[in-house]
Amino acid sequence: MRSTALVFRFLTVWGLIAPAAFGADPVKEGGNPEPFAGMYYFGDGKGWKCSLTLSAGNQFSYTRDGCCGVISESQGKFEVKNNTVIFNPDKTPMWLGLPSKPEVWHLVRWGDRKYLIAQSQLIDFCMDMNHGVEPRKYKNFGAHYYLRMGDWDKPVTGRPQLPKEFEKQFGPNPMEGKIVEMSGKNEAWVDFGAEAAIEVGKTLYVQGTPGMCFSRVRIVEVKASRCRIKPDGQTDLVKVGNSVSSWRPYSFLP
């Protein structure tokens, strides 16, 4: 009898953890998997590992682990509307790889892959796709966005299903240039513009000398052969002569 009970207990536990272990959707209603249900992950596998599970009853749980253990965690409900998600944590602030703030998250399908990407990350996702960082082939390397567990093994073709307003962000080559003129404190002109198919709002990165320091900037004005940039925060790297590129340094978290 004891051995039978142990077998039954093992099968029950396995039935709960197997979907998570193999990346399957944990929620099924009426025989159809919910479009957002599943376990999602991004991180480097060392200093930061973010896991997000969306399960039955529109419940979510989130954990961010670091080299010293759990750094932050949260749980609560999520709302689904028009292929987007809004998270409503119960008590604790939620850190999903971005500053804690209410934000719309998009379910992005790319072949058999499913990503969960915040509205503010969509332009960066397009840039990483242009540069070949996405679709990533490994769990941790280049992992800047939530991807359903196990989907990094799935090949894709074509483009991901993004909102139409972001399709114009796709481009064949990275943009590279230099700061040629200051236009104010921490604002400057770069030597490429509309001819490089750039637009206001795109993310660029300024590289300092000897190339070990970077700062994220945004395009705030575009002219025919140059564009004006402004940093996201405080930096001393916006200087004439410094290199500017759309290639995201791997040291940058999303």
In the predicted structure, residue 145 carries a pLDDT above the cut 60? yes
In the predicted structure, residue 21 carries a pLDDT above the cut 80? no
169 neighbors 123 (Cβ within 8 angstroms): yes
55, part of any domain? yes
250, part of any domain? no
The model's confidence at residue 20, banded by pLDDT at 50, 70 and 90, is very low
Kindly state the percentage of the chain with pLDDT values over 70: 76
44 neighbors 65 (Cβ within 8 angstroms): no
Check whether residue 30 and residue 93 sit in a common domain.
yes
160, part of any domain? yes
Omega before residue 210 within 30° of 0, cis: yes
Check whether residue 147 and residue 232 sit in a common domain.
no
Number of Cβ within 10 Å of residue 170's Cβ equals 14
Mean pLDDT for 33-44 is: 84
Q: What CATH number is associated with residue 188?
A: 2.40.10.340
Please provide the size of the chain in residues: 254
74, part of any domain? yes
Check whether residue 163 and residue 197 sit in a common domain.
no
HEC secondary structure over 221-243: EECCCCEEEEECCCCCCCCCCCE
The residue out of 169, 190, 205 marking a domain boundary is: 169
Distance between CA atoms of residues 97 and 157, nearest Å: 27
13, part of any domain? no
CA angle 19, 24, 28 (to 5 degrees): 90
Looking at residue 98, its pLDDT comes to 53
Closest CA to 108 of 87, 96, 130, 123: 123
In the predicted structure, residue 160 carries a pLDDT above the cut 50? yes
Check whether residue 165 and residue 186 sit in a common domain.
no
Check whether residue 109 and residue 231 sit in a common domain.
no
Mean pLDDT for 44-67 is: 86
Query: pTM of this prediction?
Result: 0.61
Mean pLDDT for 111-120 is: 92
The model's confidence at residue 228, banded by pLDDT at 50, 70 and 90, is very high
Looking at residue 211, its pLDDT comes to 59
Closest CA to 61 of 50, 45, 71, 46: 50
The residue out of 119, 144, 169 marking a domain boundary is: 169
Check whether residue 197 and residue 241 sit in a common domain.
yes
29, part of any domain? yes
Structural domain harbouring 207: 176-245
The model's confidence at residue 100, banded by pLDDT at 50, 70 and 90, is low
The residue out of 151, 169, 187 marking a domain boundary is: 169
Q: What's the mean per-residue pLDDT of the chain? A: 78
Question: For the chain, how many structural domains are there in total?
Answer: 2
133, part of any domain? yes
Check whether residue 158 and residue 192 sit in a common domain.
no
Looking at residue 5, its pLDDT comes to 43
DSSP 163-224: -GGGGGG--SS--EEEEEEEEETTEEEES--GGGT--TT-EEEEE-TTS--EEEEEEEEE-S
125, part of any domain? yes
Q: Compare 133 and 110 and report the one with higher pLDDT.
A: 110
Check whether residue 48 and residue 69 sit in a common domain.
yes
Looking at residue 31, its pLDDT comes to 28
Dihedral sign for Cα atoms in the order 229, 234, 240, 244: negative
Check whether residue 156 and residue 210 sit in a common domain.
no
Check whether residue 189 and residue 146 sit in a common domain.
no
Check whether residue 98 and residue 159 sit in a common domain.
yes
In the predicted structure, residue 212 carries a pLDDT above the cut 80? no
Check whether residue 195 and residue 160 sit in a common domain.
no
